[in-house]
Amino acid sequence: MTEQTARQKAGELTGDQVADYLRTNPDFFVDQDELLRSLTLPHDSGRAISLVERQVHLFREQRDTLRHELVELVSIARHNDRLFEKSKRLLMQVIEAKTLNDMAAAIDDSIRGDFGLDAATVLLFSDEESPGQAEGALHIVDSREARERLGALLEGDRAVCGQFRESEREFLFPDRDEPIASVALVPLRHDGLVGVFAVGSCEPGYFDQSMGSLFLSYISDTLSRLLPPMLKRYGSGTPVSGLAVESGQG
């Protein structure tokens, strides 16, 4: 093949073909020191740089990106560790509670104190004509009224986060001087729908649909198994104080 023929064939190559060849032959430049030194690329500063300089620049960018992602992952891991410890403390207190009032106080203190939220509600549904009532964060409500007031929020198994309708927020957190603006709610399900567990914040954007709900679901899964039998066990001695009394009111 003459030099002219080679140039003609080279002229027929497209940029994509050259790129594909270099991808399949990453060691092409190993013995091409002179070619490497002659190659130049535009830089953000406006000056031309060598291919080696460009590679070093890309490696540094990748390093900085990976370092930033690592810092974020470590921060998320630490945040999850704190959430796990708080969840564990709450559930241990609920398990060790001797009365319904103790359970209600444990949930109230943990959600508002340990987690730093504004309100918590555990609604357990009853089909009795006159449902009982409980203290603090723990309440028993008529299941028919709950389904009418909460509607589609009870359909899934996962947590639902958002601002909710005003009527839904008022049902979950009534009689507050400062209304709840955003809510995270998860149904309590064990052998059927038992009730709901909801936490609220006075900040409108605190809960949104993009938030993770792993620990909220973890707490609700445990509560859905613990609370119904405990209600039957301790319910006869529980004082009543009104339908769906909310933990952080006033």
Q: How confident is the model over 55-78, as pLDDT tens digits? A: 777 788 889 999 999 999 998 888
Looking at domain 98-237, its CATH architecture is: 2-Layer Sandwich (3.30)
Instruction: State the pLDDT confidence band at 243, using cuts at 50, 70 and 90.
Output: very low
Nearest-Å Rg of the Cα atoms of the chain is: 31
Could you tell me which residue, 214 or 152, shows the higher pLDDT? Answer: 152
- The confidence score (pLDDT) of residue 188 equals 86
Could you tell me which residue, 59 or 157, shows the higher pLDDT? Answer: 59
Residue 222 has pLDDT above 70, yes or no: yes
- The confidence score (pLDDT) of residue 209 equals 64
- The confidence score (pLDDT) of residue 237 equals 43
Residue 37 has pLDDT above 50, yes or no: yes
Alpha-carbon gap, residue 111 to 148, rounded angstroms: 27
Domain ranges of the chain: 31-96, 98-237
pLDDT (tens digit, 9 = 90+) per residue, 70-126? 999 998 888 888 888 888 888 888 888 877 778 888 888 888 888 888 888 888 887
What is the chain's mean pLDDT, rounded? 76
